[in-house]
Chain A
Amino acid sequence: MATQTTTSADAFYKQLGRMYGTYTGGFIAFIILLAILEQFGVPNKVLGYLFVGFTIVVYAVIGVMTRTAQVSEYYVAGRRVPAFYNGMATGADWMSAASFVGMAGTLFLLGYDGIAWVLGWTGGFVLVSILIGPYLRKFGAYTVPDFLAFRFGGNFARILGVLVLVCCSFTYVTAQVYGTGLIASRFLGMPFELAVFAGLAGILLCSMLGGMRAVTWTQIAQYIVLIIAYLTPIVILSTNKFGIPIPELTYGQAIVEITAREGQMLKDGLATLCTAASCPAGSLKAHITPFINYSPLNFFGIIFCMMVGTASLPHILMRYFTTPSVREARQSVSWSLLFIFLLYFSAPAYAAFSKLEVYTNIIGRDVASLRPWLFTWGELGLIQICGKNAVNLDAAIAACKAIAGHPGVVRLQDFVINTDVIVLSTPEIAGLPYVISGLVAAGGLAAALSTADGLLLAIANALSHDVYYKMLDPNAPTVRRLTVARVLLFIVAVISAYLASTKPGDILAMVGWAFSLAMAGNFPALVMGIWWKRATATGAICGIIAGFGLCLFYLVCTRYFPGVGVKYFGMTSLLNPVTGAPVVDIVRAMALPNAMESWPTLAHPMANKVGWFNLNNINCGLLGMPLGFLVIYVVSLMGKEPSKEMQAFIDEIRKPRGRTVLEEKV
């Protein structure tokens, strides 16, 4: 019997390599086929539909083929996903629409300071592997709240865990659904609302029937699409420009040229330099100069919050529950980071190449000689010339003429580009055929879909496993548990799609908050629970409430009740990192008649602009997490030492050998 399972498992692994190898080959063949079709004059719109349609059908087929009726398959993919493949799945799970589409744009805008995000979103995996992931795998949980409940005395800790999880995952998943809608509507010309629900169908097809098992195998397929899509345009661009197909090496030259060009633009009066004396909007901030967009505190704060947030986000941690062993969980984190690294270390190259293009072929050129790729994005309101959307050449010329004393050439302050355009427009800038643009769209879609799947599963699993099964109906039979899980998944998905279809600007801005919230709520309890035997249930519960509470307070207060924050909590204006001047005049803003009201829109002059210690609210985890640790430490020491059984249990999760601590009856 035992040998039989081993051989079938071996065959399964062997088959995996062949299956995904064939799939990758098939995908490349498909790209070539479409490239040939394009040469025969098949219209772009048809190519776009073929690309997106084909990839979604493939994901759906995988999702349906891997459906399951077993609880452990549904929640943790039967714990037999090999390290290498789990790494790929985690890569897709991790890299969202924001990473794929937005990151390069952020680097374009912020230069060196934008790298805080690159560092923050990679270095966190070090913490996952060293401090948390493998131990949770040994514990044998289905969800993160499972661990909190077992270690910290039951359902109160469990419900706190669920609360933290839902708070940080829900806004995040809504942003992903929004991302699918945005990409589908841009490339396929569908109405946005329709595109959101089409994306929703794609997401549900992958996750409804097979839970974690189906999501794992589709995420691997999605990773392959997204990484090919991300690297192809930039590799071609690098080969064309510098003769070497490794953009990560050649963009050093681009940076040298950017720096030279920046000096030239200042000399020619095409830009004004942002200096400590004056730094108006649209003035030049040199690409490689550090700490001009974020103060050093906020720069390192972002790195720290994103790193620790990574190690606290439930949808990432639960991926490591699916490996066959603790050893493979560790290896799997390494593979994850390698696969993520491939995209993240290429993003600065995108930014540099685009910036060079803008600085050489747009800034300093006659307005009348603007290149046509620009207007496709101008029509969508994503590129502005002289303060107006650049819908066509005439509009751009007219807009510049309207500015008194305009020299007729495009100056730096005349040009505004939405960060999403950088990656999406690179194929056009490089003059590549449309098939590459379609490929990029398919890649962006894969990134958004895969992250949405992982997040939805995390939320639905917490609700079905932790709330329904563990708290409401512990005797529920398997069939009912799985039905409840699927129904909840569906409900959460529909709610997030509905929210996304209303285009809530605020929710998108809140995604960064998820990291700080997860960090403040989960990190101290998880780390102390594993690494400190003396941590007690009361200590952890107080720590979670205090840390998470402080972080949430700081976010909500600075964003929605800045007047209250200034008046009662001693908050002051944030400072401009270059000039050191307050970004908002508090005295004047507080004198306004409605200064004390809450502000659901960004219109409030103080929203997101006040705080303590000049700390950006995205970094609120820096306040919450230390408080969480401190409270757990102090309250634990005041109480009685945890029982002998609990201490033996902690010893058990520290040893890879042996059975998992928590055994589920199947």
Chain B
Amino acid sequence: MASQSNTDAHWKKTTNLMFIHLGVWFFFGYVIHMFVIPLNTIIIPVLGFPLGFYMAAQGSLIVFVVMLFMFAKQQDKIDREFGMAEDD
């Protein structure tokens, strides 16, 4: 039977994970694009994209996709650790 302390511990870990992912989201959604002008002076070799443009058009999107798959895995791991995951 899940006790209150188990519930609280589960929620604490879930909250931490939430803040970590929101931090990554905020960095790639906003912070990096604030530096677009200096980043644009860097040209990605071969492809030819200016880096600042590339991060907005593709880089951040790739990060979002990858982090969501990671989040689903990590949250599931937390749920299992505290016996709160659904049966497979």
Contacts and interface: CB of A to CB of B under 8 A. Distances in A.
A126 interface: yes
A348 interface: yes
Given A112-B36, A288-B40, A656-B86, A334 B56 contact: no
Contacts of B30: 300, 303-304
A127 B21 CA distance: 9
Q: How large, as a class, is the contact surface on chain B?
A: 35 or more
Contacts of A326: 86
Q: How large, as a class, is the contact surface on chain A?
A: 35 or more
B32 to A, nearest CB: 11
Nearest to A115: B56
Contacts of A661: none
B68 A655 contact: no
A657 B64 contact: no
A130 B60 CA distance: 17
Nearest to B49: A252
A123 B29 contact: yes
Interface of B: 2, 7, 10-11, 14-15, 18, 21-22, 25, 28-30, 33-34, 36-37, 40, 44, 47-50, 52-54, 56-58, 60-62, 64-65, 67-69, 71-72, 75-76, 79, 83-86
B2 A288 contact: no
12 contacts: A112-B56, A122-B61, A123-B61, A125-B68, A134-B75, A252-B47, A252-B49, A252-B54, A341-B65, A348-B57, A531-B15, A657-B86
Contacts of A327: 72, 76, 79, 85-86
A290 B56 CA distance: 11
A461 to B, nearest CB: 26
Nearest to B11: A654
A301 B49 CA distance: 25
A10 interface: no
Contacts of A656: 79, 84-86
Nearest 9 CB-CB pairs, A to B?
A252-B48, A252-B47, A334-B68, A252-B49, A330-B72, A115-B56, A256-B48, A655-B84, A348-B57
| Contact residues of B: prevailing secondary structure | helix
Nearest to B39: A290
A255 B56 contact: no
A330 B56 contact: no
A345 B76 contact: no
Interface string A237-265: 00000000000110011011000000000
B37 A344 contact: no
Nearest to A303: B29
Nearest to A256: B48
A126 B71 CA distance: 9
Interface in A96-147: 112, 115, 118-119, 122-123, 125-127, 129-131, 134
A254 B65 CA distance: 26
Interface in A333-354: 333-334, 337-338, 341, 344-345, 348
Given A112-B56, A118-B61, A303-B30, A651 B7 contact: yes
Contacts of A296: 34
Contact of A333 (B22, B62, B68, B83): B68
Contacts of B64: 122-123, 125-126, 337, 341
B84 A657 contact: yes
A253 B48 contact: yes
Nearest to A118: B57
Contacts of B10: 654-655
B16 to A, nearest CB: 12
Contacts of A330: 71-72, 75-76
Nearest to A338: B65
Given A300-B33, A338-B65, A654-B14, A115 B83 contact: no
Contact of A290 (B37, B49, B62, B71): B37
Interface string A294-319: 00100110011001000000000000
A588 B69 CA distance: 55
A130 B18 contact: yes
A118 B71 CA distance: 22
Nearest to A125: B68
A321 to B, nearest CB: 16
A331 interface: yes
B72 to A, nearest CB: 4
B5 to A, nearest CB: 12
A64 B82 CA distance: 44
B56 A119 contact: yes
A619 interface: no
A296 B37 CA distance: 12
B61 A130 contact: no
A115 B57 contact: yes
Given A304-B30, A341-B61, 11 more contacts: A115-B56, A119-B29, A119-B60, A123-B28, A130-B21, A255-B50, A326-B86, A334-B69, A337-B65, A656-B84, A656-B86
B4 to A, nearest CB: 8
A325 interface: yes
A119 B61 contact: yes
B72 A331 contact: yes
Contacts of A123: 25, 28-29, 60-61, 64
A139 to B, nearest CB: 15
A250 to B, nearest CB: 8
A238 to B, nearest CB: 13
Contacts of A252: 44, 47-49, 54
A296 B35 CA distance: 11
A167 B38 CA distance: 41
A255 B7 contact: no
B30 to A, nearest CB: 6
Contacts of B83: 657
Nearest to A339: B65
A651 B62 CA distance: 33
Contacts of B67: 126
Nearest to A329: B72
A341 B65 CA distance: 8
B50 to A, nearest CB: 6
Contacts of A248: 58
Nearest to B18: A130
Contacts of A341: 61-62, 64-65
Contacts of A331: 69, 72
Contacts of B36: 112, 290
Given A112-B36, A327-B72, A288 B50 contact: yes
